[in-house]
Amino acid sequence: MPRPIQATVHLPALRHNLATVRARAGDAKLWAVIKANAYGHGIERVYEALRGADGFALLDLQEAQRVRALGWRGPILLLEGVFEPRDLELCSRLSLWHTVHCQEQIDMLAAHKTHAPHRVFLKLNSGMNRLGFAPAGFRAAWARLNALPQVDEISLMMHFSDADGPGGIAAQQALFEQAAQGLPGERTICNSAAVLRFGSAPQTHLDWVRAGIALYGSAPDYPAGTAASWGLQPAMSLRSRIIATQQLQAGATVGYGSCFTAPQPMTLGIVACGYADGYPRLCPTGTPVLIDGVRSRTLGRISMDMLAVDLSAPLAAGRGSGIGSEAVLWGQASAEHGGALLPIDEVAACAQTVGYELMCAVAQRVPFSVQPLDGAE
């Protein structure tokens, strides 16, 4: 028998989340952001559920090739644009649309020999200070691109730095409107947080929204918003099983560093999941886990291949928890355990990080399964 850990990708949840984001974005077209191998879910796995999007946005050229290999003929956008001149050949060949965020990328285009002119997304730096032209140079960059025979349509793009927090979007949105004023072309500024929190207004969602994390069922603004409050369902469950139990006397300790001391006699379970599976070592005692669908907690340090859980609550609920019991590290308990939910955002918060990082970090050694669109796992 293989080691019992498994990640499951829920295609019905992905399709539901796509519809939920769409419903908030008016008549805007939707880029499904599938960078980082679809946020760790696997591009090939999510494709069937997300092909109802209007385009796919990513940043690795090999990932773009994989999307074309799946048969996708619609738009693909490279969010960081090209990295070297020969990338433009692949853009021509696979008809990839690409972001242009710096003069060097315009230089590459100007030197590129192509039969079919390229569709580009000119990026404004409105204050994130990662990629993009400063407002003062934005129009000059547009004019330079517009003069190139290598360039077809020019769209306008910007990325918020604070859409998920108290800073909000108003100031950067105003900068974008000013910089883009009078220029032709489609516009895209909203990520998941901006769509969920502010996207219902046409002047905000504009022509395209770029949704990533919401599709995967994590709230970009947790804990102010939660997946449940936004109507999102977890697209990934990380599940394993209990492979050993221990009876502790009061005063006994658990794990490396003896970080947890039993205050009274208790039963603990050892789950086949550790930081080498992508479960964060930073999770302290008390991080939630579902055992046979009952909410429990970790005890002591997370090891490379194992973690310890308190079996008091599941045993009190009469689940007979022991070797072979299901442990849900995040996501959804299996149907036989009532489908209880443990939001990935809760676990991420315990590890002082965000749902994005956990889903992207599931380790290579964890096997994946897929819940198909028509139901059962």
Task: Write out the binding residues.
Answer: 130, 304
Residue with structure tokens 């046979």? Answer: 292
Which residue, 78 or 315, is less far from ligand PLP as judged by CB? Answer: 78
Look up 222 and say whether it is catalytic: no
Q: How far apart are CA 368 and CA 41, in angstroms?
A: 9
163 backbone dihedrals φ, ψ, rounded to 5°: -65, -25
Those residues whose C-beta lies under 8 Å from the C-beta of residue 186, and which sit 6 or more positions away, are 153, 155, 156, 206, 207, 208
3: DSSP letter:
-
Among 55, 220, 234, 314, binds ligand PLP (CB under 6 A): 220
Q: How far is the CB of 298 from ligand PLP (least distance, A)?
A: 27
Look up 356 and say whether it is catalytic: no
Burial string for 267-291 (b: 16+ CB within 10 Å, else e) reads bbbbbbbbbebbbbeebbbebbbbb
Which residue, 232 or 309, is less far from ligand PLP as judged by CB? Answer: 232
Among 126, 150, 191, 371, binds ligand PLP (CB under 6 A): 191
**Largest Cα–Cα separation, the chain:** 78
Among 132, 212, 234, 314, binds ligand PLP (CB under 6 A): 212
Which residue, 81 or 255, is less far from ligand PLP as judged by CB? Answer: 81
Q: How far is the CB of 208 from ligand PLP (least distance, A)?
A: 10
**Interface residues for ligand PLP in 79-108 (CB under 6 A)?**
79
**Interface residues for ligand PLP in 125-184 (CB under 6 A)?**
159
Q: Residues 35, 47, 275, 279: which is the catalytic one?
A: 35
Q: How many residues are present in the chain?
A: 377
Q: How far apart are CA 40 and CA 92, in angstroms?
A: 28
**Interface residues for ligand PLP in 50-79 (CB under 6 A)?**
79
Instruction: Give me the 283-302 binding string for ligand PLP, x by CB under 6 A, dash otherwise.
Output: --------------------
Those residues whose C-beta lies under 8 Å from the C-beta of residue 179, and which sit 6 or more positions away, are 124, 126, 135, 138, 139
Active site residues: 35, 256
Contacts to ligand PLP by CB under 6 A: 33, 35, 79, 159, 191-193, 210-213, 220
